[in-house]
Structure 1
Amino acid sequence: KCIYKTVGADKQPFLRIRQTKGTKMRFLDVVFFIYFLTHIPIALFVDFQGLFPLKYFPEQLIGLKEWYCREYRDPMLITSPAWYKSLIVCELFQFPFFFIAAYGFFKGARKCKWLRLPCIIYGSHVATTLAPIIAHVLLHDFSHEKLPSPRNLNERLLLLSFYSPYFLIPVAIVLDAVFSSAYRHSSQDQQQKHTKKIK
């Protein structure tokens, strides 16, 4: 619904969108939408290079990954050891959900209450897979590593800053799905369901 409102001495009208209660997009919906939307190209064009033959990727994307690995000293993404590759397989399993979640959060959690359970499953799974990466970055001895690797605490923390959002945001997704009232059915929704059952 659109209404007009006057502002200032000129009383020139401007158009303002009035959103009904229960349909307004939350700040977290925006954050989660951006997270899933940006995760799609990152996974498809960068992360999956560690899983599939490089002949399937343009040289520009291969060069981008190599630049990142050199600049931020990420040895895991360079060679993709077996344990790290297994986590990329997990990401491949999650990949179709990125599109579903991006759509759902674009519409808003209040309109897509069905997101609750898959978000709990997704967030719990991703946070768990990030645990070994975080531990490796913080605790592994890179002193004998031949590939570009963190040389001090600052470089470890810098590398960790690229991975930490994929731990923190999934945790936030789980907490939001469990505790937010956005996923709960209002009394009006319950009344409508009850009316349909009677009919």
Structure 2
Amino acid sequence: MDAPAPKSIFARKRDLLYLSFFAIHIPIVFCVDVLPVYPEWMKPEPLLALRQWYIDTYQDRFFSAPPPWFSMYIWMELLYHAPLSAWAVGALMRDDPKVPIHLLIYACQTGITTMTCIAEYLSWDSFTNEQKLSLSGLYVPYLALSVFMGVDMFRRLEKRSAPGATTTSTKKQL
């Protein structure tokens, strides 16, 4: 018995949300987040100006005076988030059965790193509540999406492994 044809991305509303997120996330990673690890010759003025605008607008210390541990997060973005995000765009479009496991791992890692950043900026004594609220407008939705994605992917995997569930390989054997 053949596996059912993949559903259109437009019929999978949550996957469409994730696809939209990753499509937006990829340029942000390369244009803003990982700029500090680029060699000087790879830092074009428009990207430096964009990053400076972000710093001036939000006073986000992770970008202006990052704590020592934050460089590890930048490298995770470059070495894990960027490749996973690129893979996820295609995988979500084709309804790849590996999406739930990969996006569960991504959601857990992203949720933990985002919570760390939130805890850190909430401890910045020199920041007003208004400044912290402004940063929360950027970080909390990212955390919320990570939690939502993690719960969604966990449930998808749980559904697959429930007694009586059939997988594509099981169906092919029948």
Query: TM exceeds 0.5?
Result: yes
Partner residue of 1:179?
Answer: 155
Deviations 1:101-136 (A, max 9, x none): 1112223xxx32211211111111111111221011
Structure 2, unmatched stretches of 5+, are none
Return the structure number with greater strand share. Answer: 1
Partner residue of 1:86?
Answer: 72
Task: Please say if residues 39 and 98 of structure 1, whose CA atoms lie closer than 8 Å, have aligned partners that are also in contact.
Answer: yes
Structure 1, unmatched stretches of 5+, are 1-19, 143-149
C-alpha separation in 2, matches of 1:43 and 1:104: 19
- TM-score between both structures, scaled by the size of structure 1: 0.73
- Total equivalences in the alignment: 165
- Of 144, 148, 169, 1:168 maps to 144
Query: Is 1:100 the counterpart of 2:84 in the alignment?
Result: no
Deviations 1:53-110 (A, max 9, x none): 3431210110111011111111221233322111111112212111111112223xxx
Query: Is 1:117 the counterpart of 2:93 in the alignment?
Result: no
Deviation at 1:164, TM superposition (A): 2.2
C-alpha separation in 2, matches of 1:120 and 1:181: 9
C-alpha separation in 2, matches of 1:140 and 1:38: 29
Partner residue of 1:193?
Answer: 172
Deviation at 1:189, TM superposition (A): 4.2
Return the structure number with greater helix share. Answer: 2
The structure with the larger Rg is 1
Higher relative contact order at CA 8 Å, sep ≥6: structure 1 or structure 2? 2
Deviation at 1:153, TM superposition (A): 1.1
C-alpha separation in 1, matches of 2:172 and 2:150: 27
C-alpha separation in 2, matches of 1:125 and 1:175: 13
Opposite residue 89 of structure 1, the aligned amino acid is: W
Task: Please say if residues 36 and 98 of structure 1, whose CA atoms lie closer than 8 Å, have aligned partners that are also in contact.
Answer: yes
Q: Percent identity?
A: 25
- TM-score between both structures, scaled by the size of structure 2: 0.82
Three-state SS of the structure 2 residue aligned to 1:112 is coil
Opposite residue 89 of structure 2, the aligned amino acid is: A
Partner residue of 1:40?
Answer: 26
C-alpha separation in 2, matches of 1:125 and 1:77: 20
Opposite residue 56 of structure 2, the aligned amino acid is: R
Q: Indicate the larger mover: 80-89 or 176-185.
A: 176-185
Deviation at 1:51, TM superposition (A): 2.3
